Structure 1
Amino acid sequence: RGAHLILNAMAGVGQAPAWSQQKYFPDLAGLIEGYGSNAWAVAPHRSVDQATYLLINSHQPLEGRFAWYEVHVGSAEGWNLLGGTFPGGPFPFVGCNPSVGWAHTFAYHQLADVYALEVRGRRYRFGEAWLPFTTRSIRLGVKGLPFALRRTLRSTLWGPAFRVRGRWYAFAQLTYTETRALEQWYRMGKARNFTAFRAALALHALPTFNTVYADEEGHIALFSYVHLPQRDTLLSWSLPVERPTPRHQLQEKVPLTDLPAVVDPPCGYVYNANQTPLQATCPEARWHPPRKLIGLQRFTYNRGERLAELWPRYDGRPFSWEDLRAFKHDRCVATEGSYRRVFAPLFSLDPARYPHLAEPIQALKRWSGCAEPHDTLTALVMLTHVFLSKAMGLSLPEATILGYQPTEKEAVKAVVQATRTLRKHYGTLYPRWDTVLCHGRGGIEVGVGGFWESLEARHWRYDAQTGRLQVTGGDGLYYWVKWGPQGQEVWSIQPYGASHDPT
């Protein structure tokens, strides 16, 4: 799992297929935790009430150290910031003050590189030279052990070195010495207009986030100001890099002027749902790279694809508050997108070939593609995905991003298991989705809709004893921010309400 997190947070999911094919890393197919984010902003000329709207909707676990906690920071000198932070955070990392607001989504650019090393004894090859590893010894205190563990750390001119199943690799990124992230968030929260906010972004201290922005003056924007390395376009940057040379060293970041930015597009909206920033607004206003940028994220998947279907439906007319809320709580897969392509083997199973599964196969084919709470086909589809994920070693989002289709054998096995589970625990193939998917705490539960990759995001844990799915992440704390003729309004939505006291 540590390797999975490295690849997810550092190297970038866009390079995952190359990793998963390496015999040294057969477990790297499960590279993503599955969490994502939604964010969008709408300009006043595109809203019915002439207001600016901002959605802040990061999909996080509902419990633990990466669950959002709502805070409101104020000071005598005028600091007034509302938003979400993590335990230990000194102030909000997403949110708004009376004048500006912002959201973050994770950007899956290739932010780091891994190098396959040639090693002889205690030396590694660096061009034509064989250099000694730089080493240092450390002592690690481990809870529960009465003594410290001693380890030797090794590094190269490319970066830290590690050994996996007998082979040495070096890892490089440009964020080792970056310590100004908190300063940038602080300045973003203190900004009172677009100029000041963009000046805060100019610190270029946040390595992995897209930022969606809106303000009281009606400006909207999307920035993907990440730590993308400058890479020599004449070299091969496979993952891992085989036979790396001194020219493969990462030296500098791509400057902000060459990174994705969409400011005040004429169509009046920007959005990101972890898809490529090349598709962050209407087609005519999209950002285009000024030069070849190796490692720039270019893939998209269901939430981004679904939004690309929804926005054009309002061409030529403004959005209402109800329209924007309907976008956020959409529970459907894209009509034509990666989900339909990747899981085509499941939905195209032939009932004549598997007569004992004819009923569930036909039911799968009838599914509308929307995980509504009252729907009676979604439970079969999603429980099939639970077992399909185990068979494939990939979650639904992972398979969708990587384009890995299930085999017919895997699909059939998953349908068999889902069918047995439904008949055992519910006595039918067709229970309402909200009787299977539950959100709750402290003995209080409510049935809900949505799924992992819908805009109304639900991540879950499967309970084999009951056949139920318990929501563990996705839509937690999120915000709607509005600047209109009557001033600012903020709606905050908490996953468990505003108090731990049920009374």
Structure 2
Amino acid sequence: MPARRALFAAIACGVVASAPTLAAAPASATEMARWQAQAANVSIARDTWGVPHVTGKSDADAVFGLMYAQAEDDFPRIERNYINAMGRLAEVEGEQELYRDLRMKLFINPGDLQAQYRASPLWLQKLMTAFADGLNFYLATHPQVKPSLITYFEPWMALSFSEGSIGGDIESVDLAQLESFYGQQARPATVALASAETGLDPEPSGSNGFAIAPAITQNGHALLMINPHTSFYFRPEVQVSSGEGLNAYGAVTWGQFFVYQGFNERLGWMHTSGGGDVIDEYLESIVDKDGAWSYRYDGALRPLKAVPISLPYKLASGGMGTKTITVYYSHHGPIVRAHDGKWVAVRLMNEPLKALTQSYTRTKARDYAAFYKTMELRTNSSNNTVYADADGNIAYFHGNFIPVRDPRFNWKQPVDGSDPATEWKGLHTVAQTITLFNPKNGWIQNTNNWPFSAAGANSPRQQDYPAYMSVYGENARGLHAVKVFQNKTGFTLDSLIAAAYDSELTAFESLLPPLFAAWDALPAGDAQKLALAGKIALLRTWDWRYSLTSTATSLAIFWGQELADIAGRQAREQEVPVVEFMATEQVSAGQRLAALASASDKLQRDFGSWQTPWGQINRFQRLTGEVVQPFDDAKPSLPVPYASGNWGALAAYGQSSKSSTRRIYGERGNSFVAVVEFGPRIKAKSILAGGQSGDPKSPHFSDQAAMYARGQFKDVLFYPEEVDRHLERRYRPGE
């Protein structure tokens, strides 16, 4: 069979009439009795901010209560996360999500997860059962809640979502390329992809993590700043404790039963995205042998494994259709695209049982040795970790899952899958990876940047490690963080918050001088020089700091956005961060000046003046509980001084969806933020974007919004007596 015909013969379509059931499955009397008995072991105390403080007799009881409390706050986001994690989004959203589902199903198989659940230790089985029971009890006691797809949760489902992000490494597989490879015949595997997009890089995801040693704090206690940069409302704030030693406070991703970024009474952990190289692509040389696909390996042919994957999807008519796509696997992993006549397999970490174990057990660690032991599971693949504890230790782990590779190869590019030398050779031990423990300078920072500035002059040295152990470069936030912490002492909770909200936009330190030079080089009397004179004068006097009243901030950011539209495509073609590329000589003087003219014209057109204060443009608005917020310039919003992390803002704040408004409305950046002091008693402060609840009718939907916009934190209520003094309601699940 010809190669192309064979590929498309593997794709079949069908249509069935039934649609997903939207009512929760009725609980049996036995189930209801079991759930009610467990609910009697749980107490949920809501403080005056709506934060749930969940207490259970056992860890399983606490998990049961935690899931119930999460469902009260935002069941749709819980369900959405599991729909996405299990590759079932098209069943809700329609055919346009088929390849997103396919991407997940390349790695997530319910049968495999069910087997891993059965093979898991009894203590973890109990937690997974409690996870499902808590959600099912919520649905059983709230018949008015209509799930969009998942009407009954099963324990094994927890393994489909075993780390803190959604899909994590899996989402690095390019959807357009996946569809090009497995899509309809009108789009064959050799189709050329669209050229690189223009504009800024996507709004930075990831986070800031800062740890301060006792030697440079006012009270002689270690401090930790927890500052994830995620989409807003992605993680709520919780406390979960039990009679079995669990007592964790922090941010939990909707639908997970472990605190992802947070602290207990002895130590805290903050994850930032992007450490070492954890995903590799292999170029497979494909041979059509007797109508079946094979690939070359070590001088011989191996058959590709063909696996049919069924993809149900919602029809426009309301019924359900199904597409079955046969996908292919080499021993390296699933085939995800074609490149230069070869097929590309992707290899990544896929050990959900170990990952879930690590995610949960670190929350119960009580000292550095115990925390380090959890790190030795080595399944926290997409994250770095910043750590601090009550013993006065601070530490940093750059990545966790790092395969051992032959350093002769360029692992940033696909490697030859036929060469056995490109195989992974096990995993690096934690001790072999890039780490820091109590550096002499007394502080650690990571902003999704490289680790070689994590502790100033006491940072790890780049030459001591293989290149694949750190794949990100420095960024503007990293440069900014070093400025903020260098040679500072006497840190307190409040001064650490101030440092983390320092208003400098560090990227403009290198971006503006070439613009000034371009304007200076124009001849006297030149029309463009005269037209831009006032704009240049404003930017020359600017101190690179944002504020609500700053007109220079508005002009600089609009200029940067215009310049990114000009230079973005070339930067991506060269695989250079756009802001970094914009500072190079490859961007011409004419382009810089043209971008300034366009920026001032846009400000004049949209806001009536090119000297519009930043606070009139940059706003916070939360109108609905939808995952993607509808923004409206005519509806109320709050002024926000922060700015995009692309410009070096430590307090990152940016719009990630395509704008349909004149104003900028934040969607990603500072979301849950907390600062912790590990003394004899925990002292901590926190803030959420908007509020705890996803229900617009709840008083906790936006009760923190004004404080968030001001950078004003609330006190964390960690101890029972603190919660009692600020108690809104205490109840048991089902009451």
Using the size of structure 1 for normalisation, the TM-score is 0.85
Aligned twin of 1:303 = 477
1:92 correspondence with 2:259: yes
2:425 and 2:482 map into 1 onto residues whose CA distance is 36
1:400 correspondence with 2:568: no
Q: Which runs of 5+ in 2 are unaligned?
A: 1-98, 104-166, 175-191, 624-634, 704-735
Secondary structure of the corresponding residue to residue 206 of structure 1: coil
1:177 and 1:492 map into 2 onto residues whose CA distance is 33
The code of the aligned residue for 2:225 comes to L
Shift of 1:94: 0.9
Aligned twin of 1:138 = 309
Aligned twin of 2:452 = 278
Alignment of 1:200-211 (within 5 A): 200-211=374-385
1:478 and 1:137 map into 2 onto residues whose CA distance is 44
Alignment of 1:38-437 (within 5 A): 38-63=208-233, 67-121=234-288, 122-144=293-315, 146-164=320-338, 167-237=341-411, 239-241=413-415, 245-284=419-458, 286=460, 291-297=465-471, 299-314=473-488, 317-334=489-506, 340-341=509-510, 345-346=514-515, 348-350=517-519, 352=522, 354-355=528-529, 356-393=531-568, 398-400=577-579, 405=584, 407-408=587-588, 410-437=591-618
The code of the aligned residue for 1:451 comes to A
The code of the aligned residue for 2:424 comes to L
1:285 and 1:194 map into 2 onto residues whose CA distance is 20
The code of the aligned residue for 1:330 comes to D
2:341 and 2:202 map into 1 onto residues whose CA distance is 24
In the alignment, is the contact (CA less than 8 A) between 1:260 and 1:278 conserved in 2?
no
Using the TM superposition, name which of 412-421 and 133-142 deviates more.
412-421
Aligned twin of 2:69 = none
In the alignment, is the contact (CA less than 8 A) between 1:461 and 1:469 conserved in 2?
no
In the alignment, is the contact (CA less than 8 A) between 1:24 and 1:164 conserved in 2?
no
Shift of 1:464: 6.2
The code of the aligned residue for 2:271 comes to H
Q: Label 1:159 to 1:92 Cα distance change in 2 as closer, same or farther (>3 A).
A: same
Q: Which runs of 5+ in 1 are unaligned?
A: 13-22
Secondary structure of the corresponding residue to residue 485 of structure 2: helix
Partner deviation per Cα, 1:413-443 (whole Å, 9 max, x = no partner): 4333322221123222211111110112245
Secondary structure of the corresponding residue to residue 81 of structure 1: strand
Shift of 1:346: 4.5
State which of 626, 651, 655 in structure 2 corresponds to 1:456: 651
Aligned twin of 1:34 = 204
2:287 and 2:202 map into 1 onto residues whose CA distance is 34
Partner deviation per Cα, 1:196-225 (whole Å, 9 max, x = no partner): 111111211211111111112211111124
In the alignment, is the contact (CA less than 8 A) between 1:39 and 1:104 conserved in 2?
yes
1:158 and 1:343 map into 2 onto residues whose CA distance is 46
Shift of 1:117: 3.5
Secondary structure of the corresponding residue to residue 137 of structure 1: strand
Q: Label 1:344 to 1:40 Cα distance change in 2 as closer, same or farther (>3 A).
A: same
Shift of 1:343: 6.8
Shift of 1:268: 1.7
State which of 467, 492, 495 in structure 1 corresponds to 2:689: 495
Aligned twin of 1:479 = 674
Percent identity, aligned pairs only, is: 23
State which of 457, 462, 467 in structure 1 corresponds to 2:662: 467
2:450 and 2:659 map into 1 onto residues whose CA distance is 36
Shift of 1:267: 2.2
Secondary structure of the corresponding residue to residue 349 of structure 1: helix
Q: Whose helix fraction is larger, Structure 1's or Structure 2's?
A: 2
Shift of 1:106: 0.6
Shift of 1:229: 1.9
Shift of 1:84: 0.6
Shift of 1:82: 0.9
In the alignment, is the contact (CA less than 8 A) between 1:421 and 1:467 conserved in 2?
no
The code of the aligned residue for 1:350 comes to W
Partner deviation per Cα, 1:349-405 (whole Å, 9 max, x = no partner): 326363344433444444322222221111111122333334444799941367785
1:24 and 1:129 map into 2 onto residues whose CA distance is 32
Q: Label 1:207 to 1:177 Cα distance change in 2 as closer, same or farther (>3 A).
A: same
Secondary structure of the corresponding residue to residue 163 of structure 1: strand
Q: Label 1:444 to 1:481 Cα distance change in 2 as closer, same or farther (>3 A).
A: farther
Aligned length, in residue pairs:
483
Aligned twin of 2:631 = none
Partner deviation per Cα, 1:162-214 (whole Å, 9 max, x = no partner): 33478443233340235322211211111122221111112112111111111
CA RMSD of aligned residues (A): 3.3
Q: Whose strand fraction is larger, Structure 1's or Structure 2's?
A: 1
1:246 and 1:24 map into 2 onto residues whose CA distance is 30
In the alignment, is the contact (CA less than 8 A) between 1:140 and 1:149 conserved in 2?
yes
The code of the aligned residue for 1:119 comes to I
Secondary structure of the corresponding residue to residue 621 of structure 2: strand
In the alignment, is the contact (CA less than 8 A) between 1:332 and 1:370 conserved in 2?
yes
2:383 and 2:404 map into 1 onto residues whose CA distance is 18
Which one has a bigger Cα radius of gyration?
2
1:166 and 1:401 map into 2 onto residues whose CA distance is 29
Secondary structure of the corresponding residue to residue 598 of structure 2: helix
1:130 and 1:255 map into 2 onto residues whose CA distance is 33
1:211 and 1:464 map into 2 onto residues whose CA distance is 33
Using the TM superposition, name which of 186-195 and 455-464 deviates more.
455-464
The code of the aligned residue for 2:688 comes to Q
Using the TM superposition, name which of 74-83 and 107-116 deviates more.
107-116
Aligned twin of 1:447 = 639
Secondary structure of the corresponding residue to residue 439 of structure 2: coil
